[in-house]
Structure 1
Amino acid sequence: MTNSLPAAVLWDMDGTIVDTEPYWMLAQERLVESFGGTWSKDAAMTLVGSGLDRSARILQEFGVDMPAQDIIELLSTQVMEQISQSVPWRPGALELLTALHAAGVPQALVTMSIGRMAHHVAGYIPFDAFSTVISADVVVESKPHPEAYLRAAADLGVDITRSVAIEDSVTGVTSAVASGAAVIGVEHLLSLDDSGAAVVWPTLDGRTPADLADVLAGVHA
């Protein structure tokens, strides 16, 4: 028996669809150094999956003497400029987005990047992939709070418990699990062991809508 496809697929962006984390790290390093500070990979890793408001506060602690919103806008612009030069697709992400679109499964982008950056990335997908985009500037609570995922499901008019979320960070997995979605963790920079994801895959390469249907069926078995 073939399992039913998800009511929707809810995608994280940074680290899941595109490998922008090195772009963020470079922008953070340049900003901290411009104020005479020193930025490290260890410091950068603590921000993976975090909301930009938290990232801005940490950067201020490292000596960046700018308002938080100005930090967010500057970093986002610099990351967008790097994306424009080279879109760093994660393995299998574009192919799975395409297959789900062809199968008629509604998809949402659920990211803690700001809206203009989310739409910038979405614009490189060669079709209108997302029925809704939930970004940091349209929610009150950032991940790991479930607000963003709950809002995405509400916008799509689907049952969150019949939806699949795809995430690459513990913060994102925590958010999606709390919303009630079936969560697939795709490991990238951080281990997702004991994160709460229903399954953890090393990559999306070769994955199909049927694989997502199997995960959802397993959650509800």
Structure 2
Amino acid sequence: MTANQPLAVLWDMDGTLVDSEPYWMAAETPLVERYGGVWGHEQALQLVGLGLPDAARVLQSAGVALGVDEIVDHLTDEVLRQMGELGLPFRPGAQELLRSLRDAGIKTALVTMSMHRMAASIVELIDFEAFDLVLGGDDVARPKPHPDPYLQAADALGVDIARTVAIEDSPNGLRAAVASGAVSLGVPHFVALDGVGADALWPSLEGRGADDVSALYRAHRP
């Protein structure tokens, strides 16, 4: 570890580490339809990057007659079921970059608005020790786009947030990263990230390694 490297890289999960957004959408549609509502791709995009309780309230407004906790538990169980059947869909280059960071001695944390139990289940499916910390949406008082999740992760790792890089795929997540004071890297997936305030936008993590992340860090923390 040198002063030319970040002390930690903080990862969003859904859409950044794993391509789980289609699984969430596949869980939402039959739930809304069960209560007589209509749910399509445009409606589902509203939930990308939202904390699960906020997403549950949107689904309630679409007609789902369940409590917030019931909706959160149902969606979490359904997405985990799909992953168990279909496998863990890593985003291009994500697993390779994560391994490169670990090999370089850079701390890593998973900072997600999904439930902690879901994040922990996904981490267990990775075939190396990928994260020093897993922080779920139920571990924080205020969800993204508030900076709290990233600030809490840096504090738990014992590092200054200004000496971290946060990787995000959604506007809400990126706003949280920017507000926290981390060097913010956007990797858009379903939703464009232009104008959100990222320090950098990469079209993909494919072909990227710890050296690329360190170069990004140095460009913004000279």
| Both proteins in one fold, TM over 0.5 | yes
TM-score (norm 2): 0.97
Q: What code does the residue aligned with 2:148 have?
A: E
Segments of structure 2 that go 5 or more residues without pairing to the other structure are none
Partner deviation per Cα, 1:33-54 (whole Å, 9 max, x = no partner): 1111111211100110001111
Q: What code does the residue aligned with 1:39 have?
A: W
**Structure 2 SS opposite 1:29:** helix
The answer to whether the 8 A contact 1:51-1:142 is kept is yes
Give the alignment's Cα RMSD to 1 decimal.
1.1
Could you tell me how far 1:187 is from its partner in structure 2?
1.1
Q: What code does the residue aligned with 2:59 have?
A: L
Residue equivalent to 1:108 = 109
**Structure 2 SS opposite 1:70:** helix
Cα separation, 2, equivalents of 1:102 and 1:57: 41
Residue equivalent to 1:138 = 139
Partner deviation per Cα, 1:123-143 (whole Å, 9 max, x = no partner): 111112111111111101000
Using the aligned pairs only, state the percent identity. 49
Could you tell me how far 1:3 is from its partner in structure 2?
7.4
Paired residues, what number?
220
Runs of 4+ off more than 4 Å: none
TM-score (norm 1): 0.97
The answer to whether the 8 A contact 2:5-2:218 is kept is no
Could you tell me how far 1:192 is from its partner in structure 2?
0.8
Cα separation, 1, equivalents of 2:110 and 2:34: 33
Segments of structure 1 that go 5 or more residues without pairing to the other structure are none
Cα separation, 2, equivalents of 1:93 and 1:220: 23
Give the 5 Å matches for 1:30-109: 30-85=30-85, 86-109=87-110
Cα separation, 1, equivalents of 2:221 and 2:17: 26
Residue equivalent to 2:185 = 184
